[in-house]
Amino acid sequence: MSMALDAPAPEITAAALQEEIVRTIDRPENGMPETSPLLLLDVREAEERAGGYIPNSLHIPVNWVRFRLNQLDKNAEIVVYCAHGVRSNAAAAFLLRQGYRARSLKGGIYAWAAAGGEINYG
């Protein structure tokens, strides 16, 4: 199975993702329709992740995604990210071909940080 980028995956901007996270977490319990769980998937290498990551994200390096599909929820809305968005787009496209709902974070974690997104270290 190739992780090659056949067709670009849908993208989401850092600002739109931040809004979506707030809606998912702070959703009022007043009969609003249930939303799908949101899964943030970091596909960078371990050394890159040690330099900072988006809180509550799952880490699976891009070359391991195809071997660890069992760790991903088929019902989740998956947002894949890397440093700048190239690897995440390839991984999101791969996940789409496997039947997952996936998008790529446009501009990666650098765009996330530039938009004021929270970063955890360690």
Report the C-alpha gap between 122 and 119 in whole angstroms. Answer: 10
In the chain the domains, ranked by start, together with CATH numbers, are 11-114 (3.40.250.10)
Please say whether the beta carbons of 112 and 54 come within 8 A. yes
Query: What is the structure's pLDDT at 82?
Result: 98
pLDDT tens-place string over residues 55-84: 999 999 999 999 999 999 999 999 999 999
- Average the pLDDT over 109-121 and give the result: 97
Please say whether the beta carbons of 87 and 43 come within 8 A. yes
Q: Does 78 qualify as catalytic in the annotation?
A: no
pLDDT band at 6 (very low <50, low <70, confident <90, very high): low
> pTM score > 0.85 for this model?
yes
Identified catalytic residue from 72, 82, 90, 92: 82
pLDDT at 91 over 60: yes
